[in-house]
């Protein structure tokens, strides 16, 4: 690789050259959804961000093991280790088995992610399938002295951990301040300290999702699953851990603390976080009445939407912002994205129809390098999209006959455009237009060559029939001194 890939590491607060621990293998873990509701834009942004990273790492030659978990247990309604499990709550309200709820929304998540052309991860472990690993992690942390058992629950001892290590290393928070603001609160229950968090939680009699453990019947704490499953599938040290910025604290901070407490060292080299999505400048949420599911976006079924928006226009909109910047959705912004995407798609279709010349009159040799440079700069997709617009302008010039490319350059342009637009940005190639357009152009050329042959043989019946029937379909055929030109008049 000529240019190294730079990735912003939340842990160090700067862009660092990405060097995998065991090249060409890359281990990547991304926090997936808690499956208790329809997937929304927040799910789309995180999935698209890490899908582009996954695609790009593979393109530059790495062999990526991409683990994205499914949270189907342990994520409580209230982040302070209180309240019902989110899935169990939904199951109670809908009178379903909790696993029925989880499966229903997992299926829905998969369908919407497929719509968005997101590649499936290599492993998609579910928290409920890794209870044994989570109990083992809790036991390790207890043995190391950084946790305590209290009334059937196991809590992480944040204060004790912080004496030896740094709780707050990722989020930049300071334990003194955290304790200062939380100690005043009442009802810390069986925790020694409000900042402590549950690794294992005792199940109350009404709690339906429960498993036996050395501490009685209970269920794992939410932060526990990612540490346990990350270590199981990627080892005690792996390259990348990603997720939404909303997970940075407490979820990822707690993941670090658990790993360091259990094994004495950090588990992750690069921590990556995608920023959030707002809607008309507002945070999205059920209570604000602006939580629009992806399905509603695709169907246009929400009072805030002027029309349906295709999965590719949503994907493209998300990629027009750098993943570390916030992105604000509005009808206006989405319609602008739709138009921009249509320009790039048209350029690709035009490119497929271009014929090479003897010589190139323009230089396209720097295009590939510029696209790579954009991606190597912490996945700068807006800059990459600008490079593709430069390419689209070149394509228009070629189409208008104001410039030419020889066969090798034409192939290079096609390859760069296809690689970055379809394979890395992951814009689904519209096969019904691009590939079919190519095939039908060849079929029309074939008919016209049969017509030329018929004319040469003075077989006017055949030549007229081909011309008349093509015209009836809508083709305009023009005989020129060099041969024959045709185009399809769009209705
Ligand atoms: Zn997680």
- What spacing in Å lies between the alpha carbon of 228 and ligand 1's midpoint? 10
| Cis-peptide into 250, omega within 30 deg | yes
Query: Residue 149 corresponds to which tokens in the numbers above?
Result: 């058992």
CA of 260 from ligand 1 middle (Å) equals 16
This prediction has a pTM of: 0.86
Ligand 1 center–CA 306 separation, angstroms = 35
Would you give the DSSP letter of residue 243? Answer: E
The structural domains of the chain, with segments of one domain joined by +, span: 6-274, 294-424, 438-488
CA of residue 226 to ligand 1 center, whole Å: 5
- With 50 as the cut, is the pLDDT of residue 344 above it? yes
* pLDDT value of residue 434: 52
What lies within 8 Å, CB to CB, of 198 at 6+ separation is 81, 153, 154, 155, 156, 221
pLDDT at 286 over 70: no
In whole angstroms, give the CA distance from residue 282 to residue 300.
20
Q: How close is the Cα of 267 to the center of ligand 1, in Å?
A: 13
Neighbours of 219 (CB within 10 A): 26
Superfamily of domain 6-274: HUPs (3.40.50.620)
The rounded Å distance from CA 489 to ligand 1 centre is 54
71 C-alpha to center of ligand 1: Å? Answer: 8
Distance in Å, CA 224 to ligand 1 centroid:
8
The C-alpha atoms of residue 30 and residue 373 are separated, in whole angstroms, by 25
Q: Residue 491 pLDDT more than 60?
A: no
pLDDT value for 238: 98
Asked whether residue 219 carries a pLDDT value surpassing 90, the answer given is yes
Whole-number Å distance, alpha carbon 133 to ligand 1 midpoint, is 15
Q: How confident is the model at residue 430 (pLDDT cuts 50, 70, 90)?
A: confident
Calculate how far, in angstroms, residue 259's C-alpha sits from the geometric centre of ligand 1: 13
Domain spanning 294-424, CATH class: mainly alpha
Distance from the CA of 418 to the center of ligand 1, in angstroms?
34
Mean pLDDT of the chain: 92
Tokens 């295009």 correspond to 367
Which of 216-225, 285-294, 476-485 reaches the highest mean pLDDT? 216-225
Tell me the CA–centroid distance for residue 329 and ligand 1, in Å: 26
* Residues 6-20 pLDDT 10s: 999 999 999 999 999
Q: What pLDDT is stored for residue 1 in this prediction?
A: 47
Q: How confident is the model at residue 2 (pLDDT cuts 50, 70, 90)?
A: low
Residue 469 vs residues 65, 451, 474: alpha-carbon distances, Å: 55, 12, 9
Residue 431: its pLDDT value, please?
Answer: 60
**pLDDT tens digits, residue range 125-164?**
999 999 999 999 999 999 999 999 999 999 999 999 999 9
d(CA 60, CA 113): 24
Quote the ligand 1 centre to 252 CA distance (angstroms): 7
**Each residue of 363-404: pLDDT tens digit?**
999 999 999 999 999 999 999 999 999 999 999 999 999 999
What is the model's pLDDT at position 79? 60
CB 58 within 8 A of CB 72: no
């Amino acid at each position: 690789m000529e240019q190294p890939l730079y990735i912003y590491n939340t842990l160090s607060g700067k862009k660092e050259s990405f060097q995998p621990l065991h090249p060409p293998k890359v281990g990547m873990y991304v926090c997936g959804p808690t499956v208790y509701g329809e997937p929304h834009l927040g799910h789309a942004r995180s999935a698209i961000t890490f899908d582009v990273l996954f695609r790009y790492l593979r393109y530059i030659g790495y062999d990526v093991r991409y683990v994205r978990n499914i949270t189907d247990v342990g994520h409580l309604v209230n982040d302070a280790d209180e309240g019902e499990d989110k899935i169990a709550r939904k199951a109670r309200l809908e009178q379903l088995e909790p696993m029925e709820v989880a499966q229903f929304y997992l299926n829905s998540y998969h369908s919407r992610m497929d719509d968005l052309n997101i590649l499936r991860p290599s492993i998609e472990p579910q928290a409920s399938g890794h209870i044994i690993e989570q109990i083992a992690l809790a036991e390790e942390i207890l043995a190391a002295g950084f946790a305590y058992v209290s009334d059937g629950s196991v809590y992480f001892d944040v204060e004790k951990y912080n004496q030896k290590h740094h709780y707050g290393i990722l989020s930049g928070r300071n334990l003194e301040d955290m304790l200062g603001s939380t100690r005043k609160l009442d009802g810390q229950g069986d925790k020694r300290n409000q900042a402590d968090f549950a690794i294992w939680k005792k199940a109350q009699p009404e709690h339906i999702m429960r498993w036996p453990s050395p501490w009685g019947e209970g269920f794992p704490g939410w932060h526990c699953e990612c540490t346990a499953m990350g270590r199981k599938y990627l080892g005690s040290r792996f390259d990348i851990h990603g997720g939404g910025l909303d997970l940075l604290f407490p979820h990822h901070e707690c993941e670090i603390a658990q790993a360091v407490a259990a094994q004495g060292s950090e588990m992750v080299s690069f921590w990556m976080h995608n920023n959030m999505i707002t809607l008309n400048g507002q945070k999205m949420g059920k209570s604000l009445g602006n939580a629009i599911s992806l399905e509603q976006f695709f169907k246009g079924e929400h009072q805030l939407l002027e029309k349906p928006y295709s999965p590719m226009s949503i994907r493209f909109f998300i990629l027009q912002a750098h993943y570390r910047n916030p992105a604000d959705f509005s009808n206006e912004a989405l319609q602008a994205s739709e138009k921009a995407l249509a320009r790039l798609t048209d350029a690709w279709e035009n490119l497929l129809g271009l014929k090479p010349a003897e010589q190139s009159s323009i230089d396209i040799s720097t295009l590939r390098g510029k696209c790579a440079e954009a991606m190597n700069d912490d996945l700068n997709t807006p800059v990459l999209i600008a490079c593709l617009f430069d390419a689209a302008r070149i394509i228009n010039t070629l189409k208008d006959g104001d410039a030419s490319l020889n066969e090798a350059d034409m192939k290079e342009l096609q390859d760069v455009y296809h690689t970055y637009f379809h394979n890395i940005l992951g814009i689904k190639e519209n096969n019904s237009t691009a590939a079919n357009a190519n095939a039908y152009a060849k079929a029309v050329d074939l008919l016209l060559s049969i017509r030329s042959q018929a004319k040469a043989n003075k077989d006017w019946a055949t030549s007229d029939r081909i011309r008349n029937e093509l015209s009836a379909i809508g083709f305009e055929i023009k005989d020129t001194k060099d041969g024959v030109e045709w185009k399809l008049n769009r209705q």
